[in-house]
Amino acid sequence: MLKGLVLAIGFFVLFLVIHVLLFRLRVPERRFRAMVRIAFALGLVLVAAHRATSSEMGVLPPAYTTAGWAVDLLNSLLVYTFLFVGYSMFYFLIDRGFSGRIMIEIEADPNNRLRQSEIAARYSIEMVLRRRLNEMLEIGRITETGGCYRNTEKGRSAATMFAFVKRFLQLGEGG
């Protein structure tokens, strides 16, 4: 199982390097889609690398490399996928995190302090909603006609599912 773990971590690090380089050189228009594509392509290379290399890869202790190839590969893909999912969480926190933005705005103030009304003035509800609406338009969850936004079929399904989860887990209106 050790080979799969090592390959998963190695390919995830490679993903991070490519992702950072790409975003440094040219920010893609649809950023998260670009990340998913890089991760998927590297996942395919991971499978090939797993099948092409010996179980010890020349360096690993033989005691921990006796697992069957299929379970090792399955474990490797699971770890790689979940590392990507975990990183996506972090990425969205950086990119969209509202709480992070609040702290950054406070830090950017010359006196390092703000009132709630000042935070609201620097980052208005219109800005918050406009950004989310544009993202949802891009991924086809809503449409816009004459300034009116409506859910698409995809958006309706997501809204129904999340409304159920919110109700079932008693999460309140949220947002």
Partner 1 sequence: MRGLEAGSLAFGIYFLLQAAVFHSVKVSRRALVLGGLWVAGLPIYGWLYTALPDDQAVWPAPLAAPSDFVTFLCGALLYFFFFMGYAQFFYMAESSVGVRTMIELASEPEKGLTLEELTQRYGYDWMLDRRLRRLIHAGYLIEEDGWYRTTVRGRLAAALLSQCKRLLRLGPGG
Binding window for partner 1 (CB under 8 A); candidates: 39-47, 48-56, 123-131: 123-131
| Binding status of residue 28 toward partner 1 by CB under 8 A | no
- Scan residues 39-58 and list those touching partner 1 (CB under 8 A): none
Q: How far is the CB of 110 from partner 1 (least distance, A)?
A: 13
Which tokens in the block code for residue 88?
């996506």
| Binding status of residue 2 toward partner 1 by CB under 8 A | yes
Among 30, 33, 37, 96, binds partner 1 (CB under 8 A): 96
| Binding status of residue 116 toward partner 1 by CB under 8 A | yes
Which residue, 49 or 128, is less far from partner 1 as judged by CB?
A: 128
Q: Side chain identity at 74, as an amino acid letter?
A: L
| Binding status of residue 169 toward partner 1 by CB under 8 A | yes
Q: Are 65 and 55 in contact (CB under 8 A)?
A: yes
CA distances from 37 to 18, 19, 31, 93, 163 (A): 11, 10, 10, 20, 30
For residues 157 and 9, what is the distance between their CA atoms, to the nearest angstrom? 35
For residues 34 and 27, what is the distance between their CA atoms, to the nearest angstrom? 10
Which residue, 58 or 146, is less far from partner 1 as judged by CB?
A: 146
